[in-house]
């Protein structure tokens, strides 16, 4: 009995020494965990809502056309700087002149695309343009690893041709969409832009061949 009495007194002292806030926190622990779990479960929905706010959903073929046309205009503006940078990276005067001329022609492309927007009664929308930023980042990194001037010139031409083929695919789709939608005037303007790009790829092909055959070019293994 004395032992039992001592145990009871110790239990009462322990209960009195416990802070009221501790009991409250202990009681609210499961509820807090439940709320945390709810927040985690809600996270995908919140992320989806944020994405919907940041991006404009495309609900029709016309909206898709406006989006693609806006992307093409943004690419044309950005390409001016890209071709200028490509031209500055080479020591070959012929390649510099060709790339600088390509940058100059981009202004004509932008004006043609602005006219397209006028004909369809729309305005350009915001465009990401991350693809071209990645292209430039990769170009700078890879170019820095090349030492021989002739190899650098060849690499620059190949990258310029690569970029132009991406744009050609873009304009082929735009021309087809303009024709299907009945905007034949828009199709004429887009097809002229496409013709410029195809002519540049042919000119670039000739420069690549000239660079390889030049006495200063990299000797390829037979």
Per-residue pLDDT tens listing for the chain (222 residues): 444 444 455 445 544 444 444 444 444 443 333 333 333 344 344 334 334 433 567 778 889 999 999 999 999 988 888 898 898 898 889 899 999 888 888 889 999 999 999 999 999 998 766 777 788 888 889 999 998 888 899 999 999 999 899 899 999 999 999 999 889 999 999 999 999 999 999 999 999 988 888 755 455 544
Question: Which structure tokens are listed for 75?
Answer: 């690419």
Contact 72, 125 (CB under 8 A): no
Question: Whose CA is closest to 120, among 209, 60, 169?
Answer: 60
Predicted structure pTM score: 0.66
Chain Cα centroid distance, residue 76 = 14
Contact 207, 157 (CB under 8 A): yes
Domain ranges of the chain: 2-53, 59-213
Domain 59-213 in this protein, CATH class? mainly alpha
């Amino acid at each position: 009995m004395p032992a039992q009495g001592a145990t009871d007194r110790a239990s009462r002292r322990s209960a009195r020494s416990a802070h009221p806030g501790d009991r409250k926190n202990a009681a609210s622990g499961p509820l807090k965990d439940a709320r945390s779990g709810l927040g985690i479960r809600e996270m995908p929905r919140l992320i989806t809502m944020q994405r919907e706010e940041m991006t404009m959903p495309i609900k029709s073929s016309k909206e898709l056309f406006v989006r693609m046309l806006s992307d093409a205009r943004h690419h044309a503006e950005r390409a001016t700087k890209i071709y200028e940078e490509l031209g500055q990276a080479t020591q070959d005067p012929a390649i510099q002149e060709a790339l600088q001329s390509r940058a100059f022609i981009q202004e004509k492309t932008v004006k043609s695309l602005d006219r397209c927007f006028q004909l369809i009664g729309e305005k350009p929308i915001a465009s990401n343009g991350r693809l071209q930023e990645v292209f430039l980042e990769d170009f700078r990194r890879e170019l820095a690893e090349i030492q021989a001037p002739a190899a650098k010139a060849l690499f620059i031409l190949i990258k310029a041709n690569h970029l132009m083929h991406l744009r050609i695919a873009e304009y082929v789709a735009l021309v087809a969409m303009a024709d299907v939608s009945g905007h034949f005037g828009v199709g004429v303007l887009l097809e002229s832009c496409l013709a410029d790009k195809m002519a540049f790829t042919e000119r670039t092909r000739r420069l690549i061949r000239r660079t390889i055959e030049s006495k200063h070019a990299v000797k390829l293994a037979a």
